[in-house]
């Protein structure tokens, strides 16, 4: 039986959390939460770091009635424990001018595939639309960041140097007849592609993946491979982690080479 009540310091009181859909709740859902907080809580809510809405000061005996109201109003209670936590996301390319990928859609698909899965310890996951990294994906167990890989089209280039000037990390060098990029320095922001008026730079849309705060060096050009990387990581974690061991601690103990080899041999990661 899943636990939905988080103990408080105050004896007899609990906090209950409600899921958002990649950070989004409808106004109808918010009204339901308002009614629940007034009837069963202390008349206020708390916004958690995982884009959930929590109602403190709930009594355990009211959980059944709260569940009935939630079921009738399309509102889902977040379970607690050693599970795949709710996946957080920024607004992504549908709304944010800097967005490269559809962060909420990817978060919802990860949630559909792995949300609530029981594991040796909790796993946090976040999706951010671009290198601005508003969702701090490197501070999660698993992070997905939108990325652009620039490709040079020499026939179109007039070597104006605009792309080099706008690059925030100085990865591009332009001389009179040469254009070079340092792929190790490039942060895949796509600003160089946006500024080029001659189509001398074309951007491939893709993803950068973080596992336990460490970025995989490969540029992932397939959304399906993003899900495969997450599936393989959780499977490996479920099989090899000790009880209550976090993903980062498992990598400290075992290293990440075996997981990387699985991803390479299954052709999920490019060599």
Looking at the predicted structure, is the pLDDT value of residue 2 above 80? Answer: no
Distance CA(94)–CA(97), nearest Å, equals 8
Q: What's the average model confidence in pLDDT over 69-90?
A: 96
Q: For the whole prediction, is pTM greater than 0.75?
A: yes
Maximum C-alpha span of the chain: 75
* Strand runs labelled E in the chain: 6-7, 14-18, 46-47, 53-58, 88-89, 125-128, 142-152, 172-174, 179-181, 201-211, 214-215
The reported pLDDT for the residue numbered 154 is 95
Give the model confidence (pLDDT) of 166-186 as tens digits.
Answer: 999 999 999 989 999 999 999
The reported pLDDT for the residue numbered 1 is 46
Confidence of residue 255 (pLDDT cuts 50, 70, 90): very high
The reported pLDDT for the residue numbered 176 is 87
Looking at the predicted structure, is the pLDDT value of residue 30 above 80? Answer: yes
For the chain, where do the domains classified as CATH 3.90.480.10 start and end?
6-72
The reported pLDDT for the residue numbered 270 is 87
φ, ψ (nearest 5 deg) of residue 74: 55, 45
Looking at the predicted structure, is the pLDDT value of residue 129 above 80? Answer: yes
The reported pLDDT for the residue numbered 179 is 96
Looking at the predicted structure, is the pLDDT value of residue 106 above 70? Answer: yes
Q: What's the average model confidence in pLDDT over 79-83?
A: 94
Structure tokens at 222: 């397939």
Indicate the CATH number of 6-72 among 3.30.365.10, 3.90.480.10, 3.40.50.150, 3.90.1150.10. 3.90.480.10
Domain formed by 88-265, architecture:
2-Layer Sandwich (3.30)
Looking at the predicted structure, is the pLDDT value of residue 213 above 80? Answer: yes
Looking at the predicted structure, is the pLDDT value of residue 73 above 90? Answer: yes
Looking at the predicted structure, is the pLDDT value of residue 71 above 90? Answer: yes
For the chain, where do the domains classified as CATH 3.30.413.10 start and end?
88-265
The reported pLDDT for the residue numbered 119 is 97
């Amino acid at each position: 039986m899943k636990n939905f009540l988080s103990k408080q310091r105050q004896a007899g009181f609990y906090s209950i959390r409600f899921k958002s859909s990649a950070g989004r709740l409808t106004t109808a859902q918010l009204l339901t939460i308002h009614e629940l907080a007034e009837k069963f809580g202390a008349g206020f809510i708390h916004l958690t770091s995982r884009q959930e809405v929590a109602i403190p000061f709930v009594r355990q005996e009211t959980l059944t009635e709260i569940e009935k109201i939630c079921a009738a109003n399309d509102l889902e209670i977040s379970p607690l424990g050693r599970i795949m936590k709710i996946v957080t996301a920024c607004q992504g390319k549908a709304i944010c001018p800097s967005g490269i990928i559809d962060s909420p859609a990817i978060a919802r698909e990860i949630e559909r595939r792995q949300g609530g899965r029981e594991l040796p310890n909790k796993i946090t996951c976040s999706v951010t639309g671009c290198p601005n990294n508003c969702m701090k994906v490197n501070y999660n167990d698993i992070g997905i960041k939108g990325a652009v890989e620039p490709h040079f089209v020499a026939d179109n280039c007039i070597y104006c140097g605009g792309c080099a000037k706008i690059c925030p990390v100085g990865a591009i060098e332009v001389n009179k007849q040469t254009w070079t990029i340092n792929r190790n320095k490039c942060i895949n922001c796509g600003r160089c592609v946006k500024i080029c008026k001659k189509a001398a730079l074309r951007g491939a849309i893709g993803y950068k993946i973080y596992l336990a705060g460490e970025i995989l060096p490969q540029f992932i050009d397939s959304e399906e491979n993003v899900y495969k990387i997450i599936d393989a990581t959780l499977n490996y974690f479920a099989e090899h982690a000790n009880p209550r061991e976090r993903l980062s601690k498992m990598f400290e103990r075992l290293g990440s080479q075996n997981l990387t080899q699985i991803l390479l041999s299954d052709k999920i990661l490019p060599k």
